[in-house]
């Protein structure tokens, strides 16, 4: 546990020493705000909630989270520091979790920096703040899901661009598995049970409830399992890659 | 003495390449082992396995009684490792990196302060302590890499080309540092600088194509050289020819090699016929001839020579004959 935190802290500090971190935060805030105001017509809707703000998060994360996660292991492998890190007295799992946690906290910070919109909605009307908090937590959980996928994929390659593309594709599959087009594709040949199972794996369907303030334990468990399984695979990939 | 590192039947294959081929040796406390071999011989690969980074295809590694594969954390705790090329987090400063290592290695406060002071002092890092590592010169990076390897005062120190890129002063400092630490640790260094073996190593292993071809004291290695006990003579060009014939007269002299130095002086090397000491005979003959010799010395043997013979597989004797013909 202590090791995880030491690694996470180092990693987090590394984020903030690079300009990429600030660029990322600015882009995230600009897009999150821009989409809400211009496409979501947030002000014109005349409703005191953040529905249209959260509705864009899955798509934002689809591209922005791979940008956060791509460097996690690819950079470590490329620069050779993986050898330094993995010959310290830590387990591979601790390194994987530590690095993931750092990136997740970073994503959380970016998310928290959207707080002005929350203040604004409270200023303009009388929203249900419980719903908003649930939606924030749900959004952060979903970010964790995307991030765990990105982190695993990042361990596959030394090239950050490749890591980014693979992570975005993988994220897209998880995001869209509940959407009608994808469903139709499976329905054509797979049994209904399988089609339903695929739908269950969708980030979108699992996030929708949370974003509307509905706390469904299954949704939370879903994201937790995605993170858990992805990091487990991540650990295995790191083990294999370092010994090859 | 206690054995701190034991390697047994170690083998590593990368697909069709056998990088390390059935290597066995052990290192005791108090030993400094020089790990020599041509590029691609398998030095770094062996070190990567010893430190638990790579997993071996076959064989066992034990560090302070802990099997590296079964108890990697316990083993790694007792190792200080400088990987080849000293890869370090460029965004960190030496100060933050060393503190990170102390944190991970759970050093108690006293030991931590002591370790940091000692590492920073020994490697002269004061000036660069707060400068991002990516902006440091190559030599300084290497020194930070060395500092992080010794900060926890490990029993086993594994250093892959520790003095590569260091200036002569720093090289000397590192040699002194290794000398000071030698008595309490088992140290392995890989190097391409053969003088370094003489300067710091109590033992040398030469590997070639993944196999150990020699494992002995540096002096024993030198004794394998055809230069061992040869007599070197520096003489002005005018006397050189006569001197060569005088030397060739001596029955204990096998052959004479002649090299013209840039200074204009000639250097002659008289090889011993049986590897024994021939300085007495040479001196008597020179004195009798009345030749004016600038300098005369006994060769201990040249490691480069032995290294070349062992790693290229050419027998030493063949080369001697060839050069004797030229002389
Ligand atoms: N990850 C790898 N995949 C494939 N082959 C490898 C890998 N790592 C090392 N090798 C091969 O193993 C052999 C030994 O390499 P190693 O780095 O151990 O040599 P070395 O003795 O350290 O050489 P140098 O003096 O150049 O540092 C080389 O032929 C190298 O190409
Ligand atoms: Mg090497």
Answer yes or no: is B33 within a domain.
yes
Task: Assess whether B57 and B126 both reside in one domain.
Answer: yes
B284 token code pair: 């008597």
Judged by a CB distance cut-off of 8 A, whether residue B93 touches chain A is: no
**Which H or E element spans position B11?**
strand B3-14
Task: Assess whether B43 and B150 both reside in one domain.
Answer: yes
Q: What does the pLDDT read at residue B165?
A: 86
Pairwise CB contact (< 8 Å): A7 & B104:
yes
Task: Assess whether B174 and B199 both reside in one domain.
Answer: yes
Mean per-residue pLDDT for A167-182? 80
Ligand 1 — pocket residues by CB below 6 A?
Answer: B 14, 17, 19, 37, 39-45, 84
Answer yes or no: is B18 within a domain.
yes
Chain A contact probe: residue of B91, B98, B156 with most A CBs at under 10 A: B91
Specify the higher pLDDT residue, B99 or A128.
B99
Task: Assess whether B251 and B210 both reside in one domain.
Answer: no
A82 token code pair: 């993986």
Task: Assess whether B49 and B193 both reside in one domain.
Answer: yes
Among the partner residues B54, B76, B148, nearest to A89 by beta-carbon distance: B76
Q: What does the pLDDT read at residue A44?
A: 67
Q: What does the pLDDT read at residue A42?
A: 65
Answer yes or no: is B307 within a domain.
no
**Which span out of A118-122, B93-97, B270-274 was modeled with the highest average pLDDT?**
B93-97
Where residue A242 falls among pLDDT bands split at 50, 70, 90?
Answer: confident
Answer yes or no: is B271 within a domain.
yes
Pairwise CB contact (< 8 Å): A89 & B104:
yes
Q: Which residue of A has its CA nearest to B74?
A: A89
Task: Assess whether B267 and B151 both reside in one domain.
Answer: no
Where residue A172 falls among pLDDT bands split at 50, 70, 90?
Answer: confident
Where residue B320 falls among pLDDT bands split at 50, 70, 90?
Answer: very low
Among the partner residues A2, A89, A243, nearest to B54 by beta-carbon distance: A243
pLDDT of B19 over the 70 cut: yes
Other C-beta atoms closer than 10 Å to the C-beta of B120 total: 20
pLDDT digits (tens, 9 = 90+) for B112-127: 999 999 999 999 999 9
Among B30-34, B196-200, B321-325, the least confident range: B321-325
Please, which residues bridge with residue B203 across strands?
A: B33
Alpha carbon A190 to its chain centroid, in Å, reads 29
Q: What is the CATH classification number for the domain harbouring B74?
A: 3.40.50.300
Q: Which sign, positive or negative, has the C-alpha torsion B59, B64, B67, B73?
A: negative
Q: Which sign, positive or negative, has the C-alpha torsion B117, B122, B126, B130?
A: negative
Mean per-residue pLDDT for A58-81? 92
CA distance A110 to chain B (A): 21
Strand order in the sheet with B3-14: B17-28, B3-14, B58-63, B66-67
pLDDT of A244 over the 90 cut: no
B323 token code pair: 């050069």
Q: What does the pLDDT read at residue B266?
A: 84
Specify the higher pLDDT residue, A82 or B286.
A82
pLDDT digits (tens, 9 = 90+) for B204-255: 999 999 999 989 888 888 878 888 888 888 888 888 888 888 888 888 888 8
In the stretch 33-92 of chain B, residues with CB closer than 8 A to chain A read: 48, 51-55, 72-74, 76-77, 79, 81, 83, 85, 87-92
Where residue B138 falls among pLDDT bands split at 50, 70, 90?
Answer: very high
What is the complex's ipTM, to 2 decimals?
0.88
CA distance B13 to B209: 12
Structural domain boundaries, residue B272:
231-299
Helix (H, G, I), strand (E, B) or coil at B270: strand
Interface A:B, Cβ pairs < 8 A: 64
Nearest CA to ligand 1 atom 25: B39
CA distance B33 to B25: 11
* Domains identified in chain B, total number: 2
Say if CB B4 and CB B188 are below 8 A apart. no
CA distance B153 to A238: 29
Closest CA to A107 of A74, A137, A76, A73: A137
Among A95-104, A116-125, A136-145, B165-174, the least confident range: A116-125
First to last CA, chain B: 49
Task: Assess whether B243 and B196 both reside in one domain.
Answer: no
Ligand number, closest to the Cα atom of B36? 1
CA distance A106 to A13: 10
Q: What does the pLDDT read at residue B55?
A: 92
Q: H helices within chain B, ranges in order?
A: 43-50, 72-77, 94-104, 109-122, 138-150, 168-182, 194-200, 218-223, 237-249, 279-289, 303-312, 316-326
pLDDT of B271 over the 50 cut: yes
Answer yes or no: is B69 within a domain.
yes
Task: Assess whether B58 and B201 both reside in one domain.
Answer: yes
Where residue A40 falls among pLDDT bands split at 50, 70, 90?
Answer: low
pLDDT of A122 over the 60 cut: yes
Residues found in chain A: 244
pLDDT of B162 over the 60 cut: yes
Where residue B319 falls among pLDDT bands split at 50, 70, 90?
Answer: very low
pLDDT of B325 over the 50 cut: no
Pairwise CB contact (< 8 Å): A89 & B89:
no
Q: What does the pLDDT read at residue A48?
A: 66
pLDDT of B105 over the 90 cut: yes
Task: Assess whether B64 and B149 both reside in one domain.
Answer: yes
CA distance A25 to A21: 6
Please, which residues bridge with residue B67 across strands?
A: B62
Say if CB A6 and CB B104 are below 8 A apart. yes
Task: Assess whether B161 and B20 both reside in one domain.
Answer: yes
CA distance B197 to B177: 15
Answer yes or no: is B326 within a domain.
no
Say if CB B67 and CB B75 are below 8 A apart. yes
Mean per-residue pLDDT for A173-181? 76
Among A210-214, B69-73, B84-88, the least confident range: A210-214
Where residue B315 falls among pLDDT bands split at 50, 70, 90?
Answer: very low
Closest CA to B60 of B7, B18, B13: B7
Say if CB A204 and CB A175 are below 8 A apart. yes
Q: What does the pLDDT read at residue B177?
A: 93
Answer yes or no: is B259 within a domain.
yes
**Distance of CA A55 to CAs A48, A108, A117, A123, A209, Å?**
15, 17, 14, 21, 11
CA distance A147 to A167: 9
**Distance of CA B98 to CAs B88, B115, B292, Å?**
11, 10, 60
Task: Assess whether B147 and B249 both reside in one domain.
Answer: no
CA distance B320 to B205: 24
Between CA B237 and CA B243, with CA B242 as vertex, the angle to 5 degrees is 80
CA distance A106 to A120: 24
Specify the higher pLDDT residue, A46 or B63.
B63
Pairwise CB contact (< 8 Å): A87 & B76:
yes
Task: Assess whether B138 and B249 both reside in one domain.
Answer: no
Q: What does the pLDDT read at residue B185?
A: 94
Say if CB A146 and CB A62 are below 8 A apart. yes
pTM above 0.80, yes or no: yes
Where residue A26 falls among pLDDT bands split at 50, 70, 90?
Answer: very high
Mean per-residue pLDDT for A153-176? 90
Pairwise CB contact (< 8 Å): A79 & B83:
no
Answer yes or no: is B270 within a domain.
yes
Q: What is the CATH classification number for the domain harbouring B247?
A: 3.30.70
Q: What does the pLDDT read at residue B327?
A: 38
Q: Please, what's the b/e burial string for A59-95 (b: 16 or more CB within 10 A of its CB; e: otherwise)?
A: ebbbbbbbbbbbbbbbbbbebbbbbbbbbbbbebbbb
């Amino acid at each position: 546990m202590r090791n995880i935190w030491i690694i996470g802290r180092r990693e987090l500090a590394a984020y903030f020493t690079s300009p990429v971190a600030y660029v990322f935060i600015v882009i995230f805030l600009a897009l999150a705000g821009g989409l809400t105001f211009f496409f979501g017509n947030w002000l014109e809707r005349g409703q005191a909630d953040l529905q249209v703000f959260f509705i864009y998060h899955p798509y934002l994360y689809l591209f922005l989270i791979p940008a956060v996660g791509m460097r996690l292991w690819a950079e470590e492998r490329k620069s050779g520091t993986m050898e330094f890190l993995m010959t310290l007295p830590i387990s591979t799992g601790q390194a994987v979790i530590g690095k993931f946690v750092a990136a997740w906290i970073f994503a959380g910070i970016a998310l928290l920096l959207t707080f002005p919109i929350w203040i604004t909605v409270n200023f303009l009307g009388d929203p249900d703040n419980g719903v908003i908090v649930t939606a924030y937590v749900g959004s952060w959980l979903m970010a964790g899901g995307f991030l765990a996928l990105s982190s695993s994929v990042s361990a596959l390659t030394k090239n950050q661009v490749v890591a980014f593309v693979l992570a975005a594709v993988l994220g897209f599959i998880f995001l869209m598995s509940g959407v009608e087009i994808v469903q139709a594709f499976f329905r054509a040949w797979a049994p209904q049970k399988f089609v339903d199972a695929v739908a269950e794996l969708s980030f979108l369907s699992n996030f929708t409830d949370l974003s509307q303030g509905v706390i469904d334990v299954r949704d939370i468990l879903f994201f937790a399992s995605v993170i858990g399984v992805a990091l487990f695979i991540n650990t295995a990939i790191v083990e294999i890659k370092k010994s090859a | 003495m206690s054995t701190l590192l034991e390697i047994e039947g170690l083998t590593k294959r990368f697909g069709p390449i056998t990088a390390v081929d059935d290597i066995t040796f052990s290192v005791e406390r108090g030993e400094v082992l020089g790990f020599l071999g041509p590029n691609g011989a398998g030095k770094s690969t062996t070190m990567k396995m010893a430190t638990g980074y790579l997993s071996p295809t076959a064989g066992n590694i034990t560090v302070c009684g802990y099997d590296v594969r079964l108890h990697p954390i316990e083993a790694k705790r007792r190792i200080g490792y400088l990987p080849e090329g000293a890869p370090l987090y460029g965004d960190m400063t030496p100060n933050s990196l060393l503190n990170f290592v102390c944190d991970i290695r759970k050093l108690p406060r006293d030991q931590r302060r002591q370790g940091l002071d000692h590492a920073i002092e020994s490697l002269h890092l004061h000036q660069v302590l707060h400068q991002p590592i990516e902006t440091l010169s190559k030599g300084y990076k290497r020194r930070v890499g060395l500092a992080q390897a010794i900060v926890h005062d490990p029993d086993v120190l594994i250093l892959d080309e520790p003095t590569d890129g260091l200036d002569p002063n720093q090289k000397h400092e590192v040699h002194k540092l290794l000398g000071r630490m030698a008595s309490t640790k088992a140290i392995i260094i890989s190097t391409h600088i053969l003088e370094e073996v003489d300067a710091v190593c109590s033992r040398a292993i030469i590997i070639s194509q993944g196999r150990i071809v020699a494992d002995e004291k540096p002096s024993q290695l030198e004794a394998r050289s055809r230069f061992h006990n040869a007599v070197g003579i520096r003489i002005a060009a005018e006397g050189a020819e006569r001197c060569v014939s005088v030397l060739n007269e001596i029955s204990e002299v096998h052959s004479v090699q002649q090299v013209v130095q840039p200074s204009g002086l000639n250097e002659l090397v008289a090889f011993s016929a049986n590897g024994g000491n021939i300085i007495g005979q040479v001196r008597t003959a020179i004195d009798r001839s009345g030749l004016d010799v600038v300098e005369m010395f006994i060769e201990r043997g040249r490691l480069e020579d032995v290294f070349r013979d062992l790693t290229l597989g050419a027998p030493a004797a063949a080369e001697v004959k060839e050069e004797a013909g030229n002389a």
